Structure 1
Amino acid sequence: MSIDDTIGVLLVDDHPVVREGLSSILESADGITVVGQAGSGEEAIVLAGALTPDIVLLDLRMGGMDGAEATGHIMRQSPGTKVVIVTTYDSDTDILRAVEAGAAGYLLKGSSRAELIAAVHAAARGETVLTPSLAPKLFQARAKEPPPLTEREREVLQLVSRGLTNADIGRRLFISEATVKTYLMRTFKKLSVSDRTAAVITALEQGLLP
């Protein structure tokens, strides 16, 4: 937080109208200022690194990189920044992905003005923010074991980490390039990522690769 204790917020949503609405609410609150706006996960990562906001209010589902993946990147490059997901989606899987990526909170877009402002202040204090109705879903999601990577999926990902192309991996494992792609797509889904680099990084962080 800045010297004058004003909380700097970066707004991230692929709908300009939503960003403007959130900006209007937050700028009217004491002790909060909107330092920037982004329309995608990729843009959010760049601006978070450049602006070092106290809080990032981040939409979950956007074109390109989604909010959960963007959260992971933001937390790795700016660990002092808190990410709060603000979305219309309330499935237990979405909530768990966001929280496990490092999000400090998860709010529904139907939250009131007072709830939104209180959430920003709470996150800035280091508290976990969660819309009350979502707490049971998070508990249920945490009770579910994530699907483990199969031995073959780990093998393929290990070769990806060594810089091999899909064609190289196929030749190494005596399988088709299309089969390699299938294994990678399954792995991406299990690790909640969208590309090869993120899959390797996430697998290393979770101890899935040596």
Structure 2
Amino acid sequence: MTTTAVHVLVVDDHPIVLDGVTMALGSTSWITVSGYARSGREAITAVRRLHPDVVLLDLRLPDMLAPEVIRALRSHSPGVKVVIFTAYPEHAALNAALGAGAHALIVKDTERSDLVDIIRRVNAGERVICTDIEHDLNVLLRRKLKESGLTRREYEILRRVAMGETNPEIAEALDLTRNTVKTYLQRTLEKLGARNRIEALARANECGIL
């Protein structure tokens, strides 16, 4: 049994979800909802101000991609735990969120007891991802990539672009030359019919890749 309070920041742009989560967690003696945010930028500011233990983060926010939010949160607060809270467990963007460092995935119709248990386990240092969900996500991602014509390498580079990494950072992380990264990105733009990175990210998001 957890004896010290676990402070949770809830990030979602729907007021009814915020209210519902607060009610669900409010009856648990060792959980304190320390604050709320309705966008990625608000979440980043709130984490810096409130220093929560766990961030319950909606996958789809109005201003930022979840992987980008996670990367920003963990760069400023490396100890914070992030739980993706989504109504779209089949969305391919979950792969990118997990790759960015999310500690758990939970769907919004989950029972309160399961939500509380995952927060407890994540706070204790566990990474809670159901094997079946990971398998389904990998199958879905392969199908989405096939439909778009992107290779796994092109997807990996685009995912890192979505998380805000520069070409030199991507090259170092993947052990590639900068020119090779640039070539991959150019091919990706062509396949997505995009004129620049912003359009490419938007098209990838529309296709359910990011």
Name the TM-score, length of structure 2 as normaliser: 0.69
* Partners of 1:57 and 1:85 within 8 A in 2: yes
In the TM superposition, residue 25 of structure 1 has moved relative to its aligned partner by 0.8
Q: 1: CA distance between counterparts of 2:105 and 2:172? A: 23
1:19 and 1:205 mapped to 2: Cα distance? 40
Counterpart CA distance in 1 for 2:161 and 2:136 is 18
Q: Does 1:15 align with 2:14?
A: yes
Separation in 2, partners of 1:17, 1:205:
43
Which residues of 2 match residues 40-119 of structure 1 at below 5 A? 40-91=39-90, 93-119=92-118
Structure 1 position 91, deviation (Å): 2.5
Q: Does 1:193 align with 2:162?
A: yes
- The answer to whether the 8 A contact 1:148-1:190 is kept is no
Residue pair 1:5, 1:31 contacting (<8 A) in 2 also:
yes
Q: Which amino acid aligns with 1:115?
A: D
Find the aligned partners of 1:206 and 1:66 in 2 and give their Cα distance: 21
Q: 1-side partners of 2:78 and 2:93: how far apart?
A: 22
CA-atom RMSD, angstroms? 3.0
The alpha-carbon distance between structure 1 residues 139 and 30, as it changes in their structure 2 partners (threshold 3 A), is farther
Q: 1:114-172 CA deviation, whole Å, 9 max, x = no partner?
A: 111111101100111235652422454798996335xxxxxxxxxxxxxxxxxxxxxxx
With normalisation by structure 1, the TM-score equals 0.69
- The change in CA–CA distance for 1:141 and 1:191 in structure 2 (over 3 A counts) is farther
In structure 2, what is the equivalent of residue 35 of structure 1?
Answer: 34
- How far residue 209 of structure 1 moved from its aligned partner, in angstroms, is 6.0
- Residues 152-191 of structure 1 aligned to structure 2 (within 5 Å): 189-191=158-160
Structure 2 residue 120 is matched with structure 1 residue 121: yes
| 1:147 partnered with 2:161 | no
CA distance in 2, matches of 1:70, 1:205: 22
Unaligned runs of 5+ in 1: 150-185
Letter in 1 for 2:49: A
Query: For 1:93 and 1:206, how far apart are their aligned partners in 2?
Result: 22
Q: 1:203 is aligned with what amino acid?
A: I
Question: What is the SS of the residue equivalent to 1:206?
Answer: helix
Larger Rg: 1
Change (3 A) 1:204 1:28: farther
Per the alignment, do residues 10 and 88 of structure 1 end up closer, same or farther by CA in structure 2, a change over 3 Å counting?
same
Count of paired positions:
169
Structure with the bigger RCO (C-alpha within 8 Å, sep 6+) is 2
Q: CA deviation at 1:20?
A: 1.1
